[in-house]
Structure 1
Amino acid sequence: MSVLLRWLVRLVALAVALLVCVVLAVWWIGGRSIPDYGATWTVPGLTAPVEIVRDTAAVPHIFGATDHDVYFGLGLAHAQDRLWQMLTLRRTAQGRLSELFGEPTLQIDDLLRRLDVYALSSASVDALDPETVAALQAYSDGVNAWLGLVGSEALGRGAPELFLFEPEIAPWRPADSVAVSFMMALQLAGHHEEEVLRARLSLALDDPAGLADLLPDAPGGGVAELASLPAYPDLFETPASRFAQAAAAPRHPLHPHAQGRGRAGASNVWAATPARAAASGTLLANDPHLGLTAPTIWYLARLELQAGGVIGATIPGMPVILAGRNDRLAWGITSAYLDDIDLYVEELNPENPEQYRTPDGWAEFRTDRRVIEVADSAPVTITRRWTENGPVIPGVHYDFGTITPPGHVMSMAWTALTEDNTSIQTGLRLMTASTIEEGLAAGEDFVAPAQNLMLASADGRIAMQVIGHMPWRMTAHQTQARMPSPGWIADNRWQGVTQYFANPSFVDPETGILGNTNNRTVDRAFPLHVSFTWGDTQRITRLSRLMEAREVHTRDSFIEAQLDTVSAAARNILPLVARDLWFTGETAPDGTPERRRQRALALLAEWNGEMNEHLPEPLIYAAWMRELQQRLIRDEIGPLADEFLQVEPIFLERVFRDIGGASRWCNIVQSTATETCTDIARMALDDALQWLEERYGRDLASWRWGAAHEARHDHPVLGNTRLLSWIVNIRQPTSGGDFTLNRAATPGTMPDPFLNTHSAGYRGVYDFADPDSSVFVIATGQSGNPLSRHYDDLGELWRRGEYIPMSLDPNLARAGNIGITRLVPVP
């Protein structure tokens, strides 16, 4: 027995030793992809030596003799830290994800091929000015120089993910950078999904007035009432029963447009003149919101150009500071929600399905065929078709199939689908602009996605300009672009795009403060209305209050506003919903549902609407409102209720104020009794508390919003694998919510409806009274390598609402550097 025991011990020890050796070997091989920030490399393509100084947060400060060399250095730095992210973005734009990931990404490739994103990107390079092309080529040379070093120096294939997938990498091209800008436009596009949803509701609701409740216009006049629009089936003389009702195919997590409703674009930006600043210098704060990933899409960088230093947030793949400052001008961006997409229902010729109807009769589709290679499966051949309005998109995308009548197909018109997309040019020109006028002029080159460009100059001026092409629509458009329209009706078709001067502009306001939270910016009649759908009606009220509360502002007051977690929606809705429930009835016995409800209402009665991670009230409120909205709508719209899993504050306000008779939603259609809004509110609260008790225990006081509201930074590929997810995914309890300035939007889907999945991946506050006191931060870390200590080192600062210095002083960068990469040109 003792001999057997000794041999068992030896075998176990040997197995453990082998496992340790394997882990260490994998760690060592993967660690080769972590760049040495203190190395010196000899590379082709430079005119003079370049220094890349990494400060303590691994932010590269790039110094070179020429702009060409500086852009070269940024390309190399991006590739050092985010190579896998760049390659994935490029492959997505090319419609080639399935070559690596197989059938799960086939739907993505199908869409991107039909939009022809990469071909349009390649053609758009010819539309750029020589300076932009030169910058893109220099950047590409820097990326390719690093690819060369990875191969020649055996640097772990450049990213640990490349050990799991085919490591062959094509050289980076200027078209690839343009394609990355296309991908950002696609991620921020959302009006087509609103058109589809409105059409589906039009089919589902017996009372057209219900559309005004569930999809209300943003507050303000000058907007056509929904009741003036035709019912969707009437546009095609097709009975509603003949429309397809099948659900669309599920979207894969890699899907570039899988943001969910209301997540197409969001951000905050505001600026103040010296007259409203305590230190007499212009101020600007900006935090763009996108879906959270690990690593974040943002990357901090500083470039020392011939025109001077520029610092801020970039997206790896593009040599552009998208949000930041130089020593004379600062700029920030928010989604403008300009309606730059229209859907058209195209009628097929019954005698020849290769033809579609136009205002001038039947016309042939422009067609071609493409082959999509699929890992571990046979290749898939697709036939692409284009109409005069745009590409034909199959019904499996965006739920198009549910609203396309028989004998028809859906096409898409989008301003970004052009061979003259010069948007990237705007970013490069902003980096060297020195005045408000130069900044505004740079915006004229921007195509899509439409943005609000906020500018603040060192000489005390501020401005906000909507940049991006606005479709030129006819006043007689049948649906005012709110729903898909017949593509053969001439009045529905675009007449091109409007001139830049038609875009809203706000310069040097008398109040001294400009701000935007994706809220409605103008009150203009269709077709110059900009949009019927806006991204915010709540945050702007909180921002306005905070800005008006002080006569003068400071950098710190701007930071305070940026991190504010008070929900204006909660303060508005909760008193309406609970007004007949608070402090009513006798105290119920302990352990009963009535007693639990009374305790929850008592907590909410003392709550100020702050979505603090350490409090139970935000969790009770969020669960209650979610359950309440579902109870109000599911009996009337059925499965379509799944499109409204996030709380719609204006809808709830309309119901509980009975605006336009909206309290009718409180009555359950299928029941014989007549339910009141108070009845539904009470039942919804009981259901929410029951769910919370099952999930978090019976002690209400111990519940915490942060336990349910974790920020979910998932690796887009490896994050779904059990073995690696605990290494590559980042989880953090967070404050904030869907309608707070410190926005932390939730998905609403089970089993974790309150996760923080869409938030400010970048925050920056710029102060021209003391420019080097400006600050910024990103949501994870600079490195995309999970084995690097800079993969998530900024994440905890971001979670706590802290920042790092944003200085253009080269001495400060050098004084605390963690390494200086020196690039030497080939002799």
Structure 2
Amino acid sequence: MKLAKKIGYIILALILLIVISGYLFVQLHKPDYSGEKKLLNLQNEVQVYFDEYGIPHIYGQSEEDAFRVLGYVHAQDRLWQMELLRRIGSGGLSEVFGKDLIGTDKFFLSLGIDEASKEAISKLDGNSEGVSIINAYLDGLNQFVEEGPTPVEFYLTGIDKTKFTITDVYNTMGYMAFSFAMGHKTDPLLSNIKDKLGPEYLKDLAIHSDSSTVWIRNYKKSSKDSIGNSVTAMVTDALSKLKLPLFEGSNSWVLAPPKTKNGKVIFANDPHIGFAQPSVWYEAHIETPTYSKYGYHIAGIPFPVLGHNRDIAYGMTMFENDDVDFYYEENNPDNANQYRHNGTWTNYEKVTKSIKVKDSVDVEFTFKKSVHGPILNGIANQIQGERPISMYWVYTQEENTVVDAFYEISHATNLSEFTSALPKIHAPGLNIMYGDAEGNIGWFATAKLWQIPDNINTKLVYEPDNRPNDNREFLKFEKNPQAVNPPWNYVYSANNQPDSVSGMLYPGYYLPENRAKRIVQLLDPKNDWDKNDISSMILDVNSPVHLEIAEDLMSSLNSKELTEKEIKVLDVMKAWDGTYSLDNIGGTMYTRWVYYVLVNTFRDELGEEMFKQLLDTHILKRTIAPMIANENSIWWDDINTSDAKETRETILRNSFTDAISSLEKDFGTDTQEWTWNKVHTLEHGHPIGQVDALRSFFNVGPFPVEGTREVINNLAFPYDSTGLYKVSSGPSTRRIVDFSDVENSISILPTGQSGNPFSEHYKDQAEMYVNGVFRKMMMNKDEIQKSSEMLTFIPNEN
């Protein structure tokens, strides 16, 4: 008995020891939101007030001090995220996650992001204000690396913390630029379709601009009148499994004073980015005698990509221009190390790289480069056949001043200073949105655009006898699509086709008109908008385009041929108003029906692999509406049947039956059970959360969520055979700045401010987000001081 008691006491003591150790570990590894810290190279004391959502409000006597502190507090919340993002462009993911990422690392190393970063850095003026701020930010970040607690992810993956450099800042920006480029997914796929099936199969795909859809209108007037996938299928798949944010689309609109109730500009922006945990943006409010900004920062980049103060607000959507081109190179038949260039045989440049691999030996590989870019054969698994294909990417081919641009944008005090920075953004292509307290509004398509000859199709791999000249003629920035203070009193972007001031519709991978049409439909008739109206609009989940498509689908059915069960389902569809609320049924049936239309239309010709690649492109999104309305498309025939040619009506009818059978299998025969909340869910995945045992600790969700693909509240998902629409991307923040009441402007993050799972701010906004709730972006110092914890940074004199 005594022995049993002793064993019991020992077990109890061990349990107590584990609990105490666990508690101490958590406490020691949480971010510090109060107290005092010494910081090297700090000139004066800096106060940081963390509000109830963990957002730092930094008050310093100089910008360098403030950004030095920003680097530290950013790192204590997001060091793991910083680590992953800097590794992508430099091919360092295999060192963390092992051999499965070797292919991804090879691809990114061949893109040349790291070399482009180093070249850009070599041209920097080390004494400039922008570089000084970057170095100050890195100084604070690296002091946390040296002195702060190690994030738990570093223990779990077995990697060491190392200091960050300015090259890491540029590499992270390069990764961001890559994730914008839809051409990586699209051009080789379209060439494969053309080669496999013939050019006639491209005619019914929405490759080029449709003049019947909603375009973004340009507007210019004189200043005196102014008032103020296939290539990267494996890469995309790998990054999505790691739950790293990929940039997808976005909405933004800015209303001029005549459109608002209070006679001041209202600015709205919700960039659409792949969901991940932590989410992409880190909010920080900085005040110094020379700088004031409430900004949204990407991990490892000091300058806010989105921001506002009492004078101006700015944000972005993706331009979706075509900045990637592929070339068939012609090898010398007598020397595989040479290719034809300007009529002569020219030596390929050979590049050798080494990749560190976790739990394995380093991998060394060599690839070739032509004047156009890297040869992808042997690097990207999807490049098949013997013909070498090179890839030209504007980001790495042209001078890189993107970081400089964001420094200048974040320091602009008026419209003139703001616009002068925009030509420095060569890639990625962005729609930069602007509004200010003086009543000015603006939209600017920022990218380095070239004059494309009429005989060139940028959506296909260039043949040797039909390609652009190597010395491209780039347009002056003034020729880019843009609108400043237009007479219709608003500007907007929903990644749709822009008009052009130079008489040319610039090719791109634009999204369909769905969101644009709804935005214009809501904005045009109303002239008394306020912040509450805008917050309702940014949450809108109605699609007039989906209703039009549903009408086309239903009109193809002959009611006399339908069963009683099918007529009941059709009645549900007829009653649907195009809204994707949690309890709606019509949206569930519509989405399942469209999926089977796509399967029964495209998969027989393309095969499974190419069909999956098509599902992941913007072109397919643009193709759905015109394809379903087109009775004579070559795609309707099922090539697997030897009987009479299938018609549009046959495919749509069969797809209707398939959709009903699928929903009955999943949810039973009672149509009232086919509600949207059962199929449309959002879970924010963490890279470590992909391990089942750690999922509940690192991941956030899942939550049933309103919205769908291509509504304003664009909570998108990949189409697949599961019938479960697991949201993969959507608003990375919803943000509204009202210049009639700037201090009560509002926003929300998808999960929380912190990427540290031990922080109370790891997921404290997640349920607010899915419920459409906003919180204040605080800027009033008195209010901030009353409701915040304070962490003081003082100079370390040692």
User: Which residue of structure 1 lines up, in the alignment, with residue 77 of structure 2?
Assistant: 81
- Of the structure 1 ranges 640-649 and 807-816, higher mean CA displacement relative to structure 2 is found in 640-649
Amino acid at match of 1:162: F
Q: Deviations over 1:199-219 (max 9, x none)?
A: 11112324x333122334332
C-alpha separation in 2, matches of 1:294 and 1:247: 23
TM-score, normalization by structure 1? 0.88
User: Which residue of structure 2 lines up, in the alignment, with residue 232 of structure 1?
Assistant: none
Count of equivalent residues: 777
Amino acid at match of 2:357: V
Q: Deviations over 1:484-536 (max 9, x none)?
A: 1135766353525333222222111000011110011115789x532243123
Contact 2:593–2:659 (Cα < 8 Å) also in 1: yes
Contact 1:663–1:677 (Cα < 8 Å) also in 2: no
1:218 to 180, 184, 209: 209
C-alpha separation in 2, matches of 1:796 and 1:549: 33
Amino acid at match of 1:48: N
User: Which residue of structure 2 lines up, in the alignment, with residue 765 of structure 1?
Assistant: 736
C-alpha separation in 2, matches of 1:180 and 1:533: 23
C-alpha separation in 1, matches of 2:9 and 2:659: 52
Match runs of 1:556-705 below 5 Å: 556-581=532-557, 584-585=559-560, 594-639=563-608, 640-645=610-615, 648=620, 650-658=622-630, 661-662=632-633, 665=636, 670-705=641-676
Amino acid at match of 1:517: A
User: Which residue of structure 2 lines up, in the alignment, with residue 427 of structure 1?
Assistant: 406
- Of the structure 1 ranges 310-319 and 16-25, higher mean CA displacement relative to structure 2 is found in 16-25
Q: Does 1:414 align with 2:389?
A: no
RMSD over equivalenced CA pairs, Å: 2.9
Q: Deviations over 1:465-496 (max 9, x none)?
A: 1112223444443xx21111135766353525
Q: CA deviation at 1:602?
A: 1.3
C-alpha separation in 1, matches of 2:780 and 2:763: 25
Q: CA deviation at 1:456?
A: 0.6
Match runs of 1:80-229 below 5 Å: 80-128=76-124, 130-150=128-148, 155=149, 157=150, 159-206=151-198, 208-220=199-211
TM-score, normalization by structure 2? 0.91
Q: Does 1:537 align with 2:513?
A: yes
Contact 1:635–1:670 (Cα < 8 Å) also in 2: no
Q: CA deviation at 1:438?
A: 1.4
1:727 to 687, 691, 697: 697
User: Which residue of structure 1 lines up, in the alignment, with residue 323 of structure 2?
Assistant: 340
- Of the structure 1 ranges 295-304 and 744-753, higher mean CA displacement relative to structure 2 is found in 744-753
The SS at the match of 2:58 is strand
Q: Deviations over 1:664-683 (max 9, x none)?
A: 61666624144443332232
Q: CA deviation at 1:765?
A: 0.6
The SS at the match of 2:395 is coil
C-alpha separation in 2, matches of 1:288 and 1:437: 24
Between the aligned residues of both structures, percent identity stands at: 25
User: Which residue of structure 2 lines up, in the alignment, with residue 497 of structure 1?
Assistant: 474
Q: CA deviation at 1:704?
A: 2.3
C-alpha separation in 2, matches of 1:201 and 1:525: 32
C-alpha separation in 1, matches of 2:364 and 2:773: 50
Q: CA deviation at 1:109?
A: 1.1
Amino acid at match of 1:657: A
C-alpha separation in 2, matches of 1:780 and 1:56: 14
C-alpha separation in 2, matches of 1:764 and 1:620: 32
Gaps of 5+ in 2: 214-229
Q: Does 1:253 align with 2:224?
A: no
Contact 1:569–1:739 (Cα < 8 Å) also in 2: no
User: Which residue of structure 2 lines up, in the alignment, with residue 226 of structure 1?
Assistant: none
Amino acid at match of 2:567: Q
Q: Does 1:484 align with 2:461?
A: yes
Q: CA deviation at 1:324?
A: 2.0
Match runs of 1:271-282 below 5 Å: 271-282=254-265
Q: CA deviation at 1:419?
A: 7.3
Contact 1:630–1:645 (Cα < 8 Å) also in 2: no
Structure 1 residues 297, 27: CA separation in 2 closer, same or farther (over 3 Å shift)? farther
- Of the structure 1 ranges 602-611 and 554-563, higher mean CA displacement relative to structure 2 is found in 554-563
C-alpha separation in 2, matches of 1:266 and 1:279: 30
The SS at the match of 1:265 is strand
C-alpha separation in 2, matches of 1:37 and 1:336: 38
Contact 1:62–1:302 (Cα < 8 Å) also in 2: yes
Contact 2:325–2:461 (Cα < 8 Å) also in 1: yes
Structure 1 residues 758, 24: CA separation in 2 closer, same or farther (over 3 Å shift)? farther
Contact 1:128–1:425 (Cα < 8 Å) also in 2: no
Structure 1 residues 42, 247: CA separation in 2 closer, same or farther (over 3 Å shift)? closer
2:752 to 781, 795, 809: 781
User: Which residue of structure 2 lines up, in the alignment, with residue 449 of structure 1?
Assistant: 428
C-alpha separation in 2, matches of 1:247 and 1:80: 33
C-alpha separation in 2, matches of 1:70 and 1:161: 28
Q: Does 1:713 align with 2:667?
A: no
Structure 1 residues 666, 575: CA separation in 2 closer, same or farther (over 3 Å shift)? farther
Q: Deviations over 1:528-562 (max 9, x none)?
A: 53224312321111111010231231112221211
Q: Does 1:519 align with 2:519?
A: no
Contact 1:295–1:781 (Cα < 8 Å) also in 2: yes
Structure 1 residues 248, 553: CA separation in 2 closer, same or farther (over 3 Å shift)? closer
Gaps of 5+ in 1: 223-244, 589-593
Structure 1 residues 398, 541: CA separation in 2 closer, same or farther (over 3 Å shift)? farther
Q: Deviations over 1:617-676 (max 9, x none)?
A: 2211111111122112222322222234369465343344336x2276166662414444
Amino acid at match of 2:50: R
The SS at the match of 1:164 is helix
The SS at the match of 1:425 is helix
The SS at the match of 1:723 is helix
Contact 2:62–2:289 (Cα < 8 Å) also in 1: yes
Q: CA deviation at 1:274?
A: 0.4
The SS at the match of 2:528 is coil
User: Which residue of structure 1 lines up, in the alignment, with residue 226 of structure 2?
Assistant: none
Structure 1 residues 559, 637: CA separation in 2 closer, same or farther (over 3 Å shift)? same
C-alpha separation in 2, matches of 1:171 and 1:31: 24
User: Which residue of structure 1 lines up, in the alignment, with residue 364 of structure 2?
Assistant: 381
Q: Deviations over 1:125-154 (max 9, x none)?
A: 23345121111101101101212322xxxx
1:298 to 260, 281, 289: 281
Contact 2:444–2:480 (Cα < 8 Å) also in 1: yes
Structure 1 residues 423, 668: CA separation in 2 closer, same or farther (over 3 Å shift)? same
Q: CA deviation at 1:195?
A: 0.8
C-alpha separation in 2, matches of 1:669 and 1:254: 35
Amino acid at match of 2:545: A
Q: CA deviation at 1:18?
A: 5.0
Structure 1 residues 431, 357: CA separation in 2 closer, same or farther (over 3 Å shift)? same
C-alpha separation in 2, matches of 1:10 and 1:200: 74
Structure 1 residues 705, 166: CA separation in 2 closer, same or farther (over 3 Å shift)? same
User: Which residue of structure 2 lines up, in the alignment, with residue 230 of structure 1?
Assistant: none
Contact 1:747–1:753 (Cα < 8 Å) also in 2: no
User: Which residue of structure 2 lines up, in the alignment, with residue 749 of structure 1?
Assistant: 720
Structure 1 residues 704, 16: CA separation in 2 closer, same or farther (over 3 Å shift)? farther
- Of the structure 1 ranges 801-810 and 455-464, higher mean CA displacement relative to structure 2 is found in 801-810
Q: CA deviation at 1:805?
A: 0.8
The SS at the match of 1:515 is strand
The SS at the match of 2:783 is helix
The SS at the match of 1:605 is helix
C-alpha separation in 1, matches of 2:236 and 2:769: 29
